[in-house]
Chain A
Amino acid sequence: MALSAAARRELDRILGPRGVVDGAVASLAYESDGLALIRGTPEIVLLPRDTAQCAAALGVLAAEGVPVVGRGAGTGLSGGATPVSGGALVGMARMRDVLELNLQDRFARVQAGMVNVDLTNLCAKHGLFYAPDPSSQQACTIGGNVGENSGGPHCFKYGATTRHVLGLVIVTADGQVLDLSQPRLEPDGYDLVGLFVGSEGTFGLATEITVRLTRKPAAVETLLAVFGDLDGACDATSDLIAERLEPSAIEILDRLTIEAVEQSVFRAGYPRGAGAVLLVEVEGSETEVATTVRDVTRIARARGALEVRSARGESERKKLWAGRKGAFGAMGRIAPDLYVADVCVPRTRLKELVLAATRIAAEKRLKLSNVFHAGDGNLHPNISYDRRNPDEVERVLAAGREIMELCVAAGGSLTGEHGVGLEKREEMCLVYGDDDLAVMRRVREAWDPARRMNPGKLLPVRGCREARGASLPRRAAPDHAPQAHGGSGR
């Protein structure tokens, strides 16, 4: 699916200096997102500066019939931004401008490549913030968050990205611009914006995003409860939910994660040697916070917390959160690669399913750690591995699948916040039948009849009946096969 010379020249003209990147070096740097297990080789990487450039470039690609993958910062963990071999990758990293900041009506309109944390920094001095805070918020983009409907610790209280997107400008597969940027709480007619959020780049590319800004709470307390083991922390979470307490975030980190974080630049002061810590943030009015803090402390102690303490001031609070958010990267100290499973389970069954995941990993001789959004029942069983070991890779994939099957069977879901991407597309059959998926395909084709936008993601490639019959060899597509390499050991 090579691009014609004329099309290439046209793209150069549209995108200007440093706007078109190709060759071995570019394709290697872009071969995967945060899911390093699956890789592809883009034919070309395009870096537009605004909606007009993006639309013009997509027009050229449409005429050439080239597949298009959108990409924010490439921090996603389900392979949503993995390039499609022979296709174009459209990176949003040069689209970082604020287009409008409306403090009265409390919304901002930004370009898709704006980094999540920059948006919060931008409005902090006005007493506002952007609520969804994925752990990768120091790098990930608002556009990527829209594509994946990203979450984050504080989404327990505030809800995931879709709750905060008020409008979008979308460039469609054929290079048309669809302007839905006017902030609306209630759309006239179909809620196309709502439909688009979480479509993982299979409908089109969001280039401008209108987001809701949230007022900072009057009071905040961050509690750290230290447990001897993971069970106590899980039980305490189930109790918090059962008692209908409403902290803004409830997070759990286990022993291995604590060790890795405490060795890193994000050292947070989690007690080393603890079996688990429960990190709870409480926000609201002074009285609300005081009451909730008392209740959380009581519940944590009843479930065996060895210590419950409050962050002393803003800087300690920031450290506690930075440690939590650096946890994925910190696992680089354990092994070269990390598989981050992302499943949701009923919060009454946290302990049981965490235990089951641990058992599955142990059976497969894999190293498992846990750091997760306990309040949402969003588990992240993390498996450390080395992608150069094909046998280990097989075991990781098998464990991932078993964990998903178990959680779905327990009434949970395939994905909490990372999206389906390439990682879980075949597992969509665990949740949906062929009929359901056929309807989804029709919705997708309404946006992109030629199915050129992020092909091969989100929806299973084969029918479920067929897939259920086979053993689901995930290496069907050679480009996406993990490759093993020789070389010196680590």
Chain B
Amino acid sequence: MSFNDESLVDYARTLDCIHCGLCLRTCPTYQLTGNESSSPRGRIALMRAVAEQRLDARDPAYGEELDFCLVCRHCESVCPAGVRFGEMMEHARASRARVSPKAAPLRFVRWLAFGHALRSRLLLSAAHGALSFAQRSGILGRLAPSLGARGAGLASLPEVPRSRDRELLPPCTAAQGERRGDVALLEGCVMPELFGRVNRATASVLSKLGYDVRTTREAVCCGALHAHNGDLAGARELARTLIAAFEKQAAGSSEPLPIVVNSAGCGAHMKELGRLLEDDPSWSGRAAAFAARVVDFSEFVAARLPDAARARFADPDAPYRVAYDDPCHLCHGQQIRREPRAILDGIEGLRRVEMPNSEGCCGSAGIYSLLRPEDSLAVLAPKLAEFQATGAEILVTANPGCHLQWQAGLSRAGSRAQVLHLAEVVDRALPAP
């Protein structure tokens, strides 16, 4: 049975699970509650029960377990049977939204965000403008308490950067020094609005390594957030736009242009577009070819950094202590763990320390931190304590959601530690050629 949302759950996939339970310890919601229905194995048992008509897919408790999951995919990294849990969750959420449309929490917010804002640069900008106004005018601070837990989530959002920080990259950032080739860069939807500086750092690193960095304005959102939240139709539509835009941009290149992605969640999703569109004959081949071009920033840079000039972040005699926190969709979604560490270890003036549970979820999980702020913070809490115990001054991540989550968590905890994207660290360390 192929990936489709005609049935309520992907029944054949549920049969891959042999019920061994090795996933339990990795699951953040099981860790939080000790409840097996909030574990990967338990959720698969529920999906199977839906398919076997022993459980009604409209049961609110079933919906709650689907919503509670962060889709961090940690379970996939330890599953001996190779269960593709993330994909199963997307499928189950999609069909759940169909049979029980009223069940979606904050339905209006999802409709606005997934149906409109994330697809349009203009609306994204407007949304951020409104948030920015609310923050700077103090309205949000006064309004937040009346919104309960979600208000607290909103109030803890970091300040939206000023408009000049939100400018898009130019269509091409020219290579510095000896030119080695071209790369495409995904700017993304949320990234330019909240982390324009990360995009600029990414382009700067790539250009210092000798690459012309090309962007496209014909695609905005990759659709990862849609897919994770069960809007598979929306995700497919965005995928087609994205593929077409990057195909058009690469027209004329003799070789397939690598598409560098600096957001782990987007990268993991984009690498799997072949599967998302596998039932669409006119797109499946194009999607697979596109997916093969996608490369995470750390993969691309780790292979090239040793050839570049010596990277130096600070005086090696007074190094900064840094901890790298694996974004779930990088380590579990893309199985990338070594490269970011190798990059950091190759930079002078950094002393890297390991956090015991760096592969555990930080609780950000896309829009999860906004939809379920209390659970999100509870998932972060033990990680925050572990980070503080390392005594690190900088937390390095590679995903915008995790970046926000750590910033919010550290500022709440009164910590002065900085959060930086890996690209920002490399950019600061790497001299121009």
Which residue on A lies nearest to B32, using beta carbons?
A18
Contact A28/B55 with A266-B80, A333-B82, A490-B12 known, Cβ cut-off 8 Å:
yes
Provide the A92-105 mask, 1 if CB < 8 A to any CB of B, else 0.
11100000000000
Residue of B at shortest CB range from A117? Answer: B25
Tell me whether A234 is interfacial, beta carbon within 8 Å.
no
Give the residue among A266, A331, A336 with the most B Cβ atoms within 10 A: A336
CB distance from A394 to the nearest CB of B (A): 20
Contact, CB under 8 Å: A138 / B25: yes
- With contacts A23-B61, A25-B46 taken as known, whether A328 is within 8 angstroms of B39 at the C-beta atoms is no
Known pairs A23-B61, A31-B45; A332 contacts B17 (CB<8 A): yes
Q: Taking A31-B45, A263-B82 as contacts, is the C-beta distance between A333 and B21 under 8 angstroms?
A: no
Q: With A and B bound together, what is the CA distance between A9 and B220 in angstroms? A: 52
Q: At the interface, yes or no: A32 with Cβ under 8 Å from chain B?
A: yes
Give A264's nearest chain B residue, CB to CB. B80
| B3 contacts partner chain A, Cβ-Cβ < 8 Å | no
Report the nearest B residue to A328, measured CB to CB. Answer: B20
Question: Closest residue to A21 on the B side, CB-wise?
Answer: B35
A138 to B23 CA separation, bound complex (whole angstroms): 8
- CB-based contact B12/A330 at 8 Å: no
Q: Which residues of A contact B77 (CB under 8 A)?
A: 265
Please state if B25 and A139 are interface contacts (CB–CB under 8 Å): yes
Across the two chains, which residue of chain A brings its CB closest to B20?
A: A329
B51 touches A487 (CB 8 A): yes
Chain A residues near B64 (CB, 8 Å)? 25
Q: If the complex has contacts A138-B25, A490-B12, are A32 and B78 also in contact, measured as CB distance less than 8 A?
A: no
- Taking the closest CB of chain A, its distance from the CB of B209, in whole angstroms, is 31
Does A488 lie within 8 Å of B11, measured CB to CB? Answer: yes
Check A488/B12 contact, CB under 8 A, given A31-B45, A327-B80: yes
Residue pair A34, B55 in contact (C-beta under 8 Å)? no
Majority DSSP secondary structure for residues of B touching A: loop
Contact of B80 among A23, A261, A386, A485 (CB under 8 A): A261
**Known contacts A18-B35, A488-B12, A490-B15; A28/B46 CB under 8 A:** yes
State in angstroms the CA–CA spacing of A45 and B61 once bound together. 15
Is A87 on the interface with B (CB-CB < 8 A)? no
Bound form: Cα–Cα A26–B64 in Å: 12
Q: Give the CA-CA distance A485 to B51 in the complex, in Å.
A: 10
B61 adjacent to A30 (CB under 8 Å): no
A148 at the interface (CB under 8 A from B): no
B21 near A34: Cβ-Cβ < 8 Å: yes
Residues A265 and B82 in contact, CB atoms below 8 Å apart: yes
Q: Which chain A residue lies CB-closest to B34? A: A93
Residue of A29, A261, A331 touching B42 (CB-CB under 8 A): A29
* Chain B residues, Cβ within 8 Å of A140: 21
Q: Is the CB of B33 within 8 A of A47?
A: yes
Q: Judge whether A75 and B20 touch: CB under 8 Å.
A: yes
**B24 contact set on A, CB distance < 8 A:** 73, 75, 93, 139
* Cross-chain contact of B39 among A29, A261, A329 (Cβ < 8 A): A29
Give the distance in Å from the alpha carbon of A73 to the alpha carbon of B25 in the complex.
Answer: 9
Q: Is B248 an interface residue (CB 8 A)?
A: no
- Nearest neighbor of B51 in chain A, beta-carbon distance: A487
Q: Which of A327-370 contact B (CB under 8 A)?
A: 327-333, 336-338
Docked CA distance A36–B1 (Å): 23
State the CA gap A25–B66 with chains docked (Å).
Answer: 11
> Closest Cβ of chain B: how far from A41's Cβ, in Å?
10
How far is it, in angstroms, between the C-alpha of A336 and the C-alpha of B20 when the chains are bound?
A: 11
Q: Which residues of A contact B35 (CB under 8 A)?
A: 18, 21, 26, 29, 45, 47, 91, 93
State in angstroms the CA–CA spacing of A330 and B20 once bound together.
9
Structural contact, B78 and A328, CB atoms closer than 8 A? no
Any A CB within 8 A of the CB of B310: no
Q: Considering the chains assembled together, what is the distance between the CA atoms of A36 and B44 in angstroms?
A: 13
Which residue in A75, A136, A264 is a CB contact (below 8 Å) of B82?
A264
**Mask: chain B, 16-28; 1 = CB below 8 Å from A; 0 = not:** 1111111111000
Residues 254-278 of A, flagged 1 when their CB comes within 8 A of B and 0 if not, give 0000000101111000000000000
A75 touches B34 (CB 8 A): no
Q: Residue on A with the closest CB to B7? A: A488
State the Cβ distance, B4 to closest chain A Cβ, in Å. Answer: 12
A293: min CB distance to chain B, Å? 29
B255 proximal to A (CB < 8 A): no
Give the distance in Å from the alpha carbon of A91 to the alpha carbon of B33 in the complex. Answer: 11
Pick the contact of A330: B41, B46, B81 (CB < 8 A): B81
A23-B61, A330-B80, A487-B51 in contact; A136/B20 too (CB < 8 A)? Answer: yes
A326 at the interface (CB under 8 A from B): yes
Q: Which residues of A contact B41 (CB under 8 A)?
A: 29
Per-position 1/0 for A12-30, Cβ under 8 A of B: 0000001001011110111
Residue B412 at the chain A interface, CB threshold 8 Å:
no
Cβ distance B103 to chain A, nearest Cβ, rounded Å: 14
B300 CB-CB contact with A under 8 Å? no
In the bound assembly, the distance between CA atoms of A296 and B24 in angstroms comes to 37
Q: Are A74 and B25 in contact (CB under 8 A)?
A: no
Residues of B87-122 contacting chain A, CB below 8 A: none
Across the interface, do A329 and B79 meet the contact criterion of CB distance under 8 Å?
yes
Which residues of chain B from 242 to 297 have a CB within 8 Å of any chain A CB? Answer: none
Set A24, A136, A337: member contacting B21, Cβ < 8 A: A136
Residues of chain A with a CB closer than 8 A to B65's CB: 25
0/1 interface trace, chain B 62-77, chain A, CB 8 Å (1 if under): 1011000000000001
Check A173 for interface membership: any CB of B closer than 8 A.
no
B159 at the interface (CB under 8 A from A): no
A143 at the interface (CB under 8 A from B): no
Separation of A26 and B34 alpha carbons in the complex (Å): 12
CA gap between A24 and B37 in the complex, in Å: 10
- Do A485 and B18 form a contact, CB below 8 Å, given A47-B35, A332-B83, A333-B82? no
Within 8 A of B (CB), among A41-84: 45, 47, 73-75
| Measured CA separation A117–B24 after assembly (Å) | 13
Contact between B18 and A331, CB atoms less than 8 A apart = yes
How far is it, in angstroms, between the C-alpha of A481 and the C-alpha of B344 when the chains are bound? 56
Instruction: Using A113-B34, A265-B80 as known contacts, say yes or no to A32 and B42 having CB atoms under 8 A apart.
Output: no
The answer, yes or no, to whether B370 is at the interface (CB within 8 Å) is no
Residues of B within 8 A of A92 (CB): 34
Residues of A within 8 A of B53 (CB): 485
In the complex, whether A115 has a CB less than 8 A from a CB of chain B is yes
Residue of A nearest to B35 (CB): A21
Complex-state Cα separation, A485 to B53, whole angstroms: 9
Hey, what's the 0/1 contact readout for A192-212 against B, CB within 8 Å counting as 1?
000000000000000000000
Nearest B residue (CB) for A36: B19
Contact with B along A231-271 (1 / 0, CB 8 A): 00000000000000000000000000000010111100000
Q: Indicate if the CB atoms of A139 and B36 lie closer than 8 Å.
A: no
Give every chain B residue within 8 A of A93 (Cβ-Cβ).
24, 30, 34-36
Q: Shortest Cβ distance from B341 into chain A, in angstroms?
A: 15
Q: With A136-B22, A326-B80 given, is the CB distance from A21 to B17 under 8 Å?
A: no
Q: Least Cβ distance of B69 to chain A in Å?
A: 13
Expressed in whole angstroms, the minimum distance between the Cβ of B329 and any Cβ of chain A is 17
For residue B52, CB closer than 8 A to chain A, the reply is yes
List of A residues within 8 angstroms of B37 by Cβ? 21, 25-26, 28-30
Pick the 4 closest A-B CB pairs, nearest first: A332-B81, A329-B80, A93-B34, A29-B42
Residues of chain B having any CB pair with chain A under 8 Å: 1, 7, 11-12, 15-25, 30, 33-37, 39, 41-43, 45-46, 49, 51-56, 59, 61-62, 64-65, 77-83
Q: A34-B21, A328-B80 are in contact. List 4 more A-B contacts (CB 8 A).
A: A21-B35, A25-B62, A264-B79, A330-B81
Query: Could you tell me which A residues sit within 8 Å of B by CB distance?
Result: 18, 21, 23-26, 28-32, 34, 36, 45, 47, 73-75, 91-94, 113, 115, 117-118, 136, 138-140, 261, 263-266, 326-333, 336-338, 386, 485, 487-488, 490
**Can you give 27 contacting A-B residue pairs, CB < 8 Å?**
A24-B55, A25-B59, A28-B46, A29-B41, A29-B43, A30-B36, A34-B19, A47-B35, A91-B36, A94-B33, A113-B34, A115-B25, A136-B22, A138-B25, A140-B21, A264-B82, A266-B80, A327-B80, A329-B20, A329-B22, A330-B80, A332-B80, A332-B82, A332-B83, A338-B18, A485-B52, A488-B1
